[in-house]
Structures are given as structure tokens and as C-alpha cells.
Structure 1
Amino acid sequence: MDPSEVDFAHTDAADRKRREKATELARFAWDRGITGAELLELPDDRLRKLARAAGANPPSTRETWTVAAELLDQKATWAAANPDHPQASPAHADEKIMWVKRPIPPWT
């Protein structure tokens, strides 16, 4: 492979760093009761704020957020199988409303 053709965004080191950041983001989101689907529905500006609140630099691509959403789905599956475990429940679920807004029902 020609060195000028190296895709630095998809090297082993980049994949490892992406997974580390996604894990950090997923932990923060999990503790607030945010699901993988909800995470992926958040607009970019809210994702950047969430990343900063989690103590991470905002990812430059959606790829990291997709990995974080997958980790959240895995954690939800694990939590459903281990409901009595202390880490099966989000520690700060009351903060979810700060990130995920419920749709406002229309007036009829």
C-alpha cells in the first residue's frame, strides 16, 4: 500500500481511541438513562454539549456516537439480564430531561 493512501481515521490506533472515547460517552449517557436510539437522535449541537459534559472532546464524526449507541444497547441488554446488580440502573436518570426532550403533545 502506498503510504499516501493510508486512511489514518481507520487505523488500529484510531479504532482503539474511538472505542475508548465511545465508552466514556456511553458511560455518561447510561448514567443519565439515555438509550442508544435516543443518543443517535440528538442533534449535533446537543451531542457536542453532552461530550463536553462527559469530559471528552466532541467526536469529529458520527462514527464514535454510533459505537457509543451500540455500547448503550449492549449495556441495556446486560442490565435487563442482571436487574439486581447495582450498575443495572442509571445513577442520574433524573438528568435525562436535560439531554433528551420529550415531544410536546399538540394542542387539540
Structure 2
Amino acid sequence: MGPDDREIRREDRHGIAVEGRYRTGTGVPKDVSVLDISEGGCRFFDKFGRLSPGAQITIRVGAIGPIAATVRWCEGQVVGVEFENPIYGPVLDHIRSQLAQGDQST
């Protein structure tokens, strides 16, 4: 699934811009910019671009996580991941409201 497959997306994505961090296994954490999020996954910018589809990672979105995820697609330095367990209601709302507050302070 690539970024142009929006017609088959199962849930709405919410555009955000927050710092995140991922790691593969017990590897060194890598800082990323999370670009959008949904209950089932997110998309982020990885300046090193070293992930491949199928890779298992854990990711933090702001202060939330680690969340187990699988890389579904990579296009250059943009990576799409699917969460092992969807994040629902209050947790997703917290991420969105935390980010909205951050946007107002700039």
C-alpha cells in the first residue's frame, strides 16, 4: 500500500506535525517527524530512510508509546506504518489535542 491508496484506507488520518522516535528491535532510537496519524497507523519522515516494508519497529508519537508497528510502505524518506494494535478514542484524542496546543503556542 502506498501513499496514493487512500481510497482503501480503513480510517481517517489526522494531519499533525510532532516529533517522534522509532527503533528496530533493540537498536538505537532514531528521531522522526510524524506527519499524520490514524487509529491504525501513521506516516513519518525519516531523514535516514533506511526502513523497508515488513520491518517491525516500535514508535513513540510525542509522549505516547512505544507502539509496536509494521512498516507497510516507504517512498523516499516518508514511511507508512500500521500499528500492531489500533490506538482508540482517548489516546488518539490526547495526541491530537496535545498537538493542537503546541500549534497555538508558536
Higher helix proportion (structure 1 or 2): 1
Q: Structure with the greater relative contact order (CA < 8 A, sep ≥ 6): 1 or 2?
A: 1
TM-score normalised per structure 2: 0.27
Higher strand proportion (structure 1 or 2): 2
TM-score normalised per structure 1: 0.27
